[in-house]
Amino acid sequence: MIKPELPEYIRTMVRGDYAANDAVEAKLDAEGWDGLPRYLAAVFFLAVDRRFGETASRAEVIALVGELRAGLATGGPEISAEAAEQLIMSIIDPSLDYSMSQEMIGRIQAATVQKILTEENLSDDELNAVLAEAVNLAARP
Amino acid sequence: MSGGIAELVAQLLGVRAKLDAAAVTALRARTDAEVALARLAEVQRGSSDQRLRAAVTDAEVARDKAGRYARLLAEAARHITTYVNTIAPGAAPTEPAGDDALPSGERVVTEAERRGRRADIAWRKQVQKADDTEDSLKNAETSAREVFKFFKQNGDDQGGTTSGTTSPGPTPGQDRPHVDNPVTAAVMAAGALAVTVKAIWNHGKARRARKRDNNDQA
């Protein structure tokens, strides 16, 4: 079961409502972040699927990854370009494999979710629907 | 097409439209039950009340059955499509006529299930990687939070756009209404999820639009 603070954490991040995000973060710090890796993986999947579907070209992915890295260039955690391309391509084409640490996976997923969901210009209803669908995906057996 | 066959085709297409609509309703019910269950589990925390346990059990059965109804209804619609196209080739389009048409229940069910399966594959792969390298999923959590923290500290150039296409979001501190009973929770969940099917539909629509743009440019 995904605790409701997790979608709220992502929602406030995407909306740039950092005061509310701080409050959710404090609550999660106190109660535990259980379920974040799977929930984030589900949101990442939906964000990539929304942007690229199942037929994106490598060039489009490379361009996105370039922007991801640029967004972190001013002292943020570093993302390997090759790893990010592999991870995103593995969503577009599930037959593709990758090799990287969980640490790198977490970075790529967080940066990608923030970028795509921010840029897609979702209405509040649409953003809530994406986050709710991710709750369902993360609850699958 | 002779008059008799034309009439039969029209009647069958009418039935198919009803089956499609029913499939969408069933799919909504399944999704709503799923989210209501998650809420129930949250509300139930720490309580072993027999009635709440019964609510969970019943909602689980309802979720599973609604999913089965959705699949059966979509399947029935598909059989009609095949039959109609046999007696009058091309008479039953497999996609709705235009983007403004209601989504075919069959297509909505298929897209949602397909996404679910693809998401399962992605997650299993991530877990497998962690197992293979004796890495911990916890490391993904820690590093993801570092990235989000960085965006927060760097403020406006990363996130922070609000679309403003609908009513403004709830004010901080009142984000989630306090839920004190499972019925309220279930009703809230149903409300929150009413947009899901629409979102799935919009998703497909946006993708088709993108494809068209790409084709235009090509």
Each residue's pLDDT tens digit, B149-178:
999 998 754 444 443 333 333 333 333 334
Tell me what the pLDDT averaged over chain B comes to.
72
Which residue did the predictor score with more confidence, A20 or B48?
A20
Subunit contact A71:B159, Cβ cutoff 8 A: no
- Beta-carbon neighbour count of residue B10 at 10 Å? 11
CA separation for the pair B94, B106 (Å, rounded) = 10
Of A19, A106, A114, the CB nearest to B139: A106
pLDDT value for A105 = 98
Q: A87 to chain B: nearest residue by CA?
A: B122
Determine phi and psi for B96, rounding to 5 degrees. Answer: -60, 155
Q: What is the DSSP string of B79-96?
A: HHHHHHHHHSTTSS-SS-
Q: Which residue's structure tokens are 């990235």?
A: B147
Cβ–Cβ contact B156 with A under 8 A = yes
Provide mean pLDDT across the span B68-86: 89
ipTM exceeding the 0.90 mark: yes
pLDDT value for B170 = 37
Cβ–Cβ contact B129 with A under 8 A = yes
CA separation for the pair B79, B2 (Å, rounded) = 22
Indicate whether A130 pLDDT > 50: yes
Q: Which of A1-5, A6-10, A15-19, A112-116 has the lowest mean pLDDT?
A: A1-5
Residues of chain A numbered 61-90 and touching chain B (CB < 8 Å): 71-72, 74-77, 90
Which residue did the predictor score with more confidence, B197 or B104?
B104
Q: Coil, strand, or helix at residue B48?
A: coil
Indicate whether B42 pLDDT > 70: yes
Q: Which residue's structure tokens are 């299993």?
A: B124
CA separation for the pair B181, A11 (Å, rounded) = 24
Provide mean pLDDT across the span B61-66: 90
Residues of chain B numbered 63-102 and touching chain A (CB < 8 Å): none
Indicate whether B47 pLDDT > 50: yes
Provide mean pLDDT across the span A16-25: 96
Q: Which of A41-45, B10-14, B50-54, B210-214 has the lowest mean pLDDT?
A: B210-214
**Residue B210 — pLDDT band, cuts 50, 70, 90?**
low
